[in-house]
Structure 1
Amino acid sequence: MSGRRLGSFAAAVALHENLLRRPDPDATETRLHPGRLDLPSSWTPDLLPLSAYRAADPAALGLGGFDDFHAIPEDVLEAAIKAVVDVEGPVHFDVLADRLLEGAGVGRLGSRIRERIEVRLEALSAGAGAASSLQLDDGLIAWPRQLLSPPYRDWREAPEKTRQLDYVSDAELMLVLFRAVLDDACRDREVAMNDGIHAIGFIRLTDNVRARLQAPLARLLASGWMVEEADGLVAQLVT
């Protein structure tokens, strides 16, 4: 693995090549896009503009019409879980549960309902690491691609109950910090943290938020996509 500092012509060419290799979400046949639908081998930053947070529609999950949550067939519940993750992944368990409960017309997440959702998640994550298996990562649920190439999304557009920094995955926070350094040339750690979370809709860099960002920043530096030099942070292209 090698890194090239952004700002040079070679780096600009590599950036263009990276964009060309990004998967096309509307592609339907891999023969039309050879190699572009391959799963990234490691975390890779999304270089597209900030997009609105999309929330799954509970009414479209097919969970209505049952006597209670436990009457929902396993395959129907699993399909609903996948549908939520398709739209919102990486998605926190609490957010996933909210969408499922609203879709089923249930008002409270009791222990038995929580256990049933967790059991179905365990079944869907069997064979962890496979592209077709859900990944469970510290309370977050996602498809492998969503953790390796997380979305750059505006959480101001999320439902009010969903807009919590604790619901943002480490993979997405790595992207937030990378984009702050890349887009705004933020070399100072504090400025990069502040500008990064502000860009996605979180206003104040409190002590708790600063602590929350330490692990994603460490992972980002370890990945090689960012280095820390004497005069501050520098974004790099990894090839």
Structure 2
Amino acid sequence: MTPRKSSHTVPDHGDWAVPYQPADVADLDPATADRRGGVPKPPMTDAVHRVVETEGPIHPDVLLRHLGELLFEPRPSSIRTRVNSAVDALKGEGRITEADGFLDLPGRPCEQARWPLPGLVPRPVEHVAPAERRRALLGLVEDRPRGLGAEQAVGEALKFFGWSARNTAARAKLMADLYRLRDTGTLTGWPDKLEPPAGS
């Protein structure tokens, strides 16, 4: 699957904001392609690792759906057992890890938040890792120190991820993330003039 090209940019954001880039598995092992249709059939552990490497932190349901698309499986549920076995094997080998229900590479910090490319359906809030949501909130505050209050930061994050202002579930999770950033000292100036701690 080739990532969709777009000239769309998110204005006024630093390098913490990037578009969501889907993975590709076609080059993993060309010798294993199905010669009848040219469908790539790489080893499942390699395919899972590639998707996690490219798209992590990724929710297991998103991993399954994307692998179904990449491997041309009409029903992703038909490969669920193989995907779960590959995930378990990779976790056992220490090649991927799981935190807060999301898969990623071990020790990789969440340094970027991803906005949806035009034409792609925004991920529901349940499919965006807490670490990524907090990175977006922190990035928005870093871009406008003392220029955003808590409610405005949440509103900007809703727009960033492509969610409606009326999405109460997303709003609640983002506000909880903002409280977490406040309580850990990652943000100061609560609640009206948010900013990163001095010297950060």
TM-score above 0.5: yes
Amino acid at match of 1:160: L
2:89 matches 1:123: yes
Q: Quick check: which one's strand share is greater? A: 1
Secondary structure of residue in 1 paired with 2:103: strand
| Structure-2 separation of matches of 1:188 and 1:145 | 32
1:187 and 2:154 equivalent?
Answer: no
Q: What does residue 143 of structure 1 align with?
A: 105
**1:190-205 equivalences in 2 (<5 Å):** 190-205=151-166
Q: 1:227 aligns with which of 185, 188, 193?
A: 188
- 2:44 maps to 1:77: yes
1:178-227 residue CA offsets vs partner (Å, 9 max, x unmatched): 12222133432111001123134334252211112144223322332212
Whether 1:65 and 2:34 are equivalent positions in the alignment is yes
Does 2:14 match 1:53?
Answer: no
* Separation of aligned partners in 1, 2:28 and 2:116: 22
Contact 1:85/1:142 (<8 A) preserved: yes
User: Which of 94, 108, 113 is matched with 2:79 structurally?
Assistant: 113
Distance of 1:238 and 1:167 partners within structure 2: 33
Take 1:212 and 1:57, find their aligned partners in 2: how far apart are those partners? 31
Distance in 2 of aligned mates of 1:152 and 1:204: 19
Contact (CA 8 Å) 2:97, 2:103: kept in 1 or not? yes
d(CA) in 2 for partners of 1:113 and 1:236?
A: 46
Counterpart residue type for residue 201 of structure 1: G
Identity across matched positions, percent: 27
CA positional deviation for 1:104: 2.6
After TM superposition, the score normalised by the length of structure 1 is 0.63
In structure 1, C-alpha distance between the alignment counterparts of 2:28 and 2:166, rounded to whole Å:
36
Deviation at 1:145, TM superposition (A): 4.2
TM-score w.r.t. the length of structure 2 is 0.73
CA–CA separation in structure 1 for the residues paired with 2:20 and 2:72: 24
- In 2, the alpha carbon distance for the partners of 1:142 and 1:97 equals 14
Which residue type is aligned with residue 64 of structure 2? A
Q: Structure 1 unaligned runs (5+)?
A: 1-45
Aligned to 1:170: 130
Aligned partners of 1:66 and 1:138: how far apart in 2?
A: 40
Alignment-mate amino acid for residue 65 of structure 1: D
Counterpart of 2:51, as a letter, is: V
Q: Secondary structure at the match of 1:224?
A: coil
Partner of 1:40 in structure 2? none
Change in Cα spacing, 1:66 to 1:228, as seen in structure 2 (3 Å) is: farther
Count of residues in Structure 1 that have an aligned counterpart in Structure 2: 181
Q: Secondary structure at the match of 2:196?
A: strand
SS state of the match for residue 95, structure 2? coil
Q: Would the alpha carbon gap of residues 230 and 50 (structure 1) be closer, same or farther in structure 2, given more than 3 Å must change?
A: closer
